[in-house]
Structure 1
Amino acid sequence: YYEENRYSTVTTYDLIELVNDVTGEDMSWFFDEWVFDVGYPFFQYSAYQSSDTVYVDITQIQDHGPIFQTYLDIRISSTTSSEIHREFITERNTHLEYIFSDRMMSVTLDPNKEIIKAYRFVEPGVEEPQTSIPELSISVFPNPANPTVNIEVDARFPVDILIYNELGEIMETIPDVAHETALDVSQYPSGIYLAIAEEGNRRAFSRFVVLR
């Protein structure tokens, strides 16, 4: 793919077509959720053990964006051992059961930090308020974008917004955004970009696509 297109312009849709051809599957859903749509999964989960079975309940509680489909590693640990189970999450609510003979000490989602997400653990049976919007959030529209894109943040205080390209290089820094700002992307090459809102040590992410 690189050799065939190294001196030409390609779009995300060309990449989708290639991925579909290589996998033999329609992977449009992945790009719809993780590239073109907004936000990222926010997992609320609980876990408990009864006899030699560990029960894990996971709920996606984000208000913005789709219900994300993703592989998710779940690590169950005791004082002497741990094991990781990989699950494919497709629904808002997921119930899982694992045989685990040791005494469970902790359950960790995505222990190797392989996906963009937010999460929180709640004790089983404890009612959590259903205010699922994180304290800091960012959305980008329209998506795909050209020649401008609007960036909207929900934060307690003004935030800095950093724009990264696919190589991890900073394209632009926008300081002190209180609610909404417009960004001129008319000179950006076609590709996928990451907008990051920073407030102290907290971050929120949103991807967007520029098509020329």
Structure 2
Amino acid sequence: MKTHTVLAIGAHVGDAELTAGALLATCAVHGGKAVTLALTAGEKGAPAGADIAAYRRDKIAQAEAFAKDLGGEAIVLPYEDGLVPDNDEIRFAVCDVIRQVKPDIIVTHHANSMHKDHAACHRIVSDAWFYAAIEGFQRELPRHFAKKIYFAENWEDAPGFEPYVYLDVSDGYPLWEKAIDHHWFAVHSTSFPYKEYYAHLKRLRGIQGRKGYCECFMIPEEQYRLVQTMEDI
């Protein structure tokens, strides 16, 4: 497996770690760099009676602990959960992170979602990917073009999601299974069994892909093409 830098961008802390965490872990065990970026901490999901500001600090610490297990980095922007702004200010903030990290692969949300922050994140990242690649958008750091952008499989982003890329993440799965425990809600949520769901989903996709574990992604529709020679037929 080639060494890659992967930047997984979620609307909230935990989104990228659940949906693309095994890809990040597989990248890490093969000597690559794994970075997560959350537009918000996801603090509005605090347990009943919990202090939201304290829970936000806890969520950021959990993101950092997950990234540390992978030898990577966690970045959390200061936007408010549930109120992600759909404007160029946040697009350029994400653009700047892309130029800083210099990823080969960007992963973010699929276009459709039951959660407004997820849908906004998809639009923001898609534009930021473009901004980061264009020299004419002059920022502090030089341009960077991430060659691939993937849209992750998320139970909240189910409408219209059709698996296109099955990535074998078997090598990183044990590391993901350990690291995801840093995210309190993934293990202890009473509203949805996050870790259990995504663990089974990765195994299901692995069976479909004839591998141990897979994570599935969509790609931009304009990239839907299969190029073959006569020898491939």
Same fold by TM-score greater than 0.5: no
Higher relative contact order (CA 8 A, sep 6+): 2
TM-score normalised over the length of structure 1: 0.25
Structure with greater proportional helix content: 2
TM-score by length of 2: 0.23
* Structure showing greater Rg: 1
